[in-house]
Each structure stands twice: as C-alpha cells, then as structure tokens.
Amino acid sequence: MDHQPANFLLPSDPRTFGFFVDGKVVEAGSRPYFERQSPGHGVAVTRIPKCTKDDLDLAVAAARRAFEDGRWSRIPSVERASVLLRAAQIIRRRAEEIALWETLENGKPISQARAEVDGCAGIFEYAAGAARALHGDAFNNLGDRLFGLVTREPIGVVSLITPWNFPFLILCERVPFILAAGCTIVAKPSEVTSATTLILAEVLAEAGLPAGCYNVVTGSGSTIGQAMTEHMDIDMLSFTGSTSVGRRCVQAATGNFKKLGLELGGKNPQIVFADADLEDAADGVAFGIGFNTGQCCVSGSRLIVERSVARAFEEMVAAKFAKVKVGDPLDPATQVGAITTAAQNDTIMTYIEKGKAEGARLVCGGDQLDFGRGHYIAPTLFGDVTGDMAIARDEIFGPVLSIMPFDTVEEAIAIANDTVYGLAASVWSKNIDKALTVTRRVRAGRFWVNTTLAGGPELPLGGFKQSGWGREAGIYGVEEYTQIKSVHIELGKREPWVS
C-alpha cells in the first residue's frame, strides 16, 4: 500500500469525539473535554469528553440490561463468533485510520501502529474460534446413580480499564475474549489515548454487536476509573496499568467482591550467555527496549550478561542503538517515536539522572533529543549497574537499559528473580540445558528463548508476583471471563432421608 508523506497526515483541527452508551454515540454537550496534543508534534489532535459518574451508571445499566436479557450472553456461540469475524474484517478495512489515531495520540511509529492494528484483527479471528471451543466437562465416574456436569457461564458485566502505551492492542487483547465468553463491557481508556477505544465501538456496532454490549465512558482515572473499581453492579474488572493503581483496584473491589484481572508493571530480565548468537542477541536486546520507546510492560529493561562477554556485548548493543532511527512517528522509516506524555518524559529523564548520580556508567544515550517539537529521548545504556540502584529496581517505562554481569547460571537466575515483578523474561543461549533451566527457574508469566516480544493470541499473557493476577488471551483468556457451575444429576430415585 502507498502511504502519504508524514506531515500530510496531521489534522488541521482536532477531532471531537463523543462517548458511547447503549449502542449510541453520546455527544459531550456541556461536559468539559481533554484536549490531546500529538506527543510527536505538539499539535492538538483529539478532544475527548470528561464523563461523569452518572454517565458511568448509565453505561453500567445498559451493559447489565444487555447481559441479563440474553441478547448476547445466551445466543449460540456461532452467532457470537460471526460478529467477531465481521469485526476483524472491519478493523482491516479501517486499519489505516485506526493506526493513524494510535500514532497521533500515543506517539508510536506509524509502521508499528499498522502492524499492531493488523494483529488486532487476527486476535478477533482467534477469539471467534475460541468462543466456539469454550466448553465444560462431564463426570461419568460418580456411580450408576449420579451424573456430574461442569458448565461455564459468562461472568456478567465486565469493566475494562486500559493504559496509554498500546491503546488499541491492549483493548483487543481483552474485548474479543470477553465478548467470546458472552459478557458485556464498559470500557474506560486512558484519558490521553481514548480515540481508538471509541472507534472500536463503531466497528463493533457495524459488525452487528447488539446495543449495550460494548460501552465506552471516557474520563480520568481518579473519577471514572475509581468509580468503576468501586461500582456495585460490575461483576469483574480487567485492569491494565501500573502496579500502584492495581493495588488501589484491589482495595476498591472489596465492596461487591468483584473478580479482578490485573495486568501490571514489569522489570523484565534479558539473560545473555556467552554461548548465544551474540549478534542476534544484541539486535533482540536493542529491539526489546527500543520497541514502543521502552514504554512497554514487557520491555527487557535489565540486561544480565555473562561476564566473559559483557564488555563486548555492551559495545554491540551500543552500536545497534546508534543505528536505530528515532524521529517523527508519522515517518514510515521511524523505529523509535515520541515519549507519550510530558510527565513520562520527565520521569525517564529523572531516572537517567538518578542512574548517573548512583554511580552507573553511561555507555550511550541519556539525552533529550531536540526535533523542534514533541518529546524524544535517545536509547540509553548504563553499565556497571548494581541490584540496589533505582535504575535496576524500578519500572522506568522508557528506552533505558541497565547492564548487570554474572558468572554462573545460579547467579543469573538470582539476579533475574531479584525484583518484585514477574511479568516477562528472555534468555539467549545455544545451550538447551542452560536455556531451559533458566526458563523453569525464573519467575515470570511470559518467557522468550532466543527471541523477545514475539507473540500471538494463542499464548496467554499475565504476570507472576506483583505483575498481576489472571491471564489474558489464549483459551485461558476466554475462561477468565467465565465462572464455573457444578451440576449434580440424580438418575432414578434418591435414597429417602426419612423412611
């Protein structure tokens, strides 16, 4: 496909969105707006309504009605699957437009956004199959007189709170699975990246999803997000975001004991052994921290390298960083785009200063890049990092990589596990014994061997330790949104209790 030149795509005026309740767009009316500036260009691109708690109540009531009357929860799974398949086709048809809003609000490279949107269509297709594969169990071993069934039922009204780093991808790693299970949804995107969550409402309506099954209420985390977590008529909350807000969700959910799915932060190790294909590993490590400007929950931000090759490998990664194309997210050649918010930009720069102050050796990067507009940071590499430094412990959520050397397999495992997080990890080695030992012993929900950030909807996502609860995607991702009922069936006549 031919793509237009970068600057041509910047809108002359911001697009004003409404929110979405019970199958209809609701205009903001007298409600105030968030005005979003493109982080790569500093130009206003979208205006998003600041909804109220009353708006949330209306959306939850619509989702409740849609769930209880069975318009979605009780139809045959083949019909649910056909809506999801149509949605996939519409996403592909509107891919260019969705990718553009994603880039304008988030600052990610347009080529990356296009690939993500295409992947999202594939997730809907996978979930359509999963809807039909979902099943329970039967127990034929309870004796002649008792027969047992285990059925799965949709959990009910699910609220979805998403972050700003992959607004459409994270949404699509959850929505089709929730719908496949037969649940209804009230979504709240991050206040800085709401456009594509609202566009998905148009996609699903066109695909034939009944009114009330997917609602979007836009607004801040402290008002709409907090009210969602406390809401007494929401059966489950799927939250993706920081561990600190995840902790608040746990506390707020006690009102009605809503089920929680939590996908939280990470400080993910990349373990490189001397026997790895070092050229391939250096490229993978650079990709693992440069992708999405390191604003990625599964970024490989701790580089744990066998001491005998540590210096040589450091130089190889620095050479990769020097060649990475950082720049305008709308340029199809860009590999690393803008930092999504000014606040996140300041957080990353503060960590870079902390790293220097704590005695880490700055190998390369560390600078704010000046392109005349927007906020950009050069991929940054620190050597001589020790486990007690803030850059080794905290999730920076930026293109900052810390190198820590090791001498033995046991030491590599200990360094990798020395974190409160357990989201993801990579190991690079041509020795299968070492690679599998590390894979089995490092506590992380997602593992890559001689690659990183690879994936597809078949494999579940989720964290150990403080990286979260539950799993998204795969058949597990549909089951997560169901609850189990045991059915005990007497064949013939019961033994009387009173004779």
Q: Can you give the binding site for ligand NAD, defined by CB under 6 A?
A: 161-165, 170, 188, 190-191, 220-222, 225-226, 229, 240-242, 245, 248-249, 263-266, 297, 395, 397, 423, 461, 463, 468
Q: Residue 152: which residues within 8 A CB-CB, separation 6 or more? A: 134, 135, 136, 181, 479, 482, 483, 484, 485
How many CA atoms lie within 13 Å of 85's alpha carbon, on the beta-carbon side?
Answer: 11
**Nearer of residues 6 and 416 to ligand NAD, judged by Cβ:** 416
Q: Which is nearer to ligand NAD, 242 or 450 (CB)?
A: 242
Q: How far is CA 435 from CA 14, 356, 410, 412, 413, in A?
A: 50, 33, 12, 11, 11
- Amino acid occupying residue 253: A
For the bound state, the minimum distance from the C-beta of residue 220 to ligand NAD, rounded and expressed in Å, comes to: 6
Query: Catalytic: 263?
Result: yes
- Active-site annotation holder among 120, 213, 296, 297: 297
Strand ranges across the sheet with 400-406 = 361-364, 380-383, 400-406, 302-306, 269-272, 424-428, 446-449
Q: Catalytic pick from 191, 263, 472, 480? A: 263
Contact criterion met (CB below 8 Å) for 334 and 110: yes
147: Cα separation from own chain's centroid: 41
Shortest spacing between CB 146 and ligand NAD, in angstroms = 42
CB of 235 to ligand NAD, least distance (A): 17
Q: To the nearest whole angstrom, how small is the minimum distance from the Cβ of residue 291 to ligand NAD?
A: 13
Alpha helices by DSSP H, listed for 12-109, are 53-68, 77-93, 95-106
Shortest reach from residue 149's CB to ligand NAD, in Å:
34
Nearer to ligand NAD, 241 or 383 (CB): 241
Reply yes or no on whether 51 is catalytic.
no
90, 127 in Cβ contact below 8 A?
no
Exposure on the CB side of residue 81, measured as CA atoms within 13 A: 13
Residue 157, H or E segment: strand 157-161
Cβ proximity to ligand NAD: between 347 and 437 the closer is 347
Residue with smaller CB distance to ligand NAD, 217 or 282: 217
Closest separation in Å from C-beta 347 to ligand NAD: 10
* Residue (32 or 143) nearer to ligand NAD, CB: 32
Can you spell out the DSSP letters for 165-189? SSHHHHHHTTHHHHHHHT-EEEEE-
Q: Give the residue numbers annotated as catalytic, written as ranges.
A: 263, 297
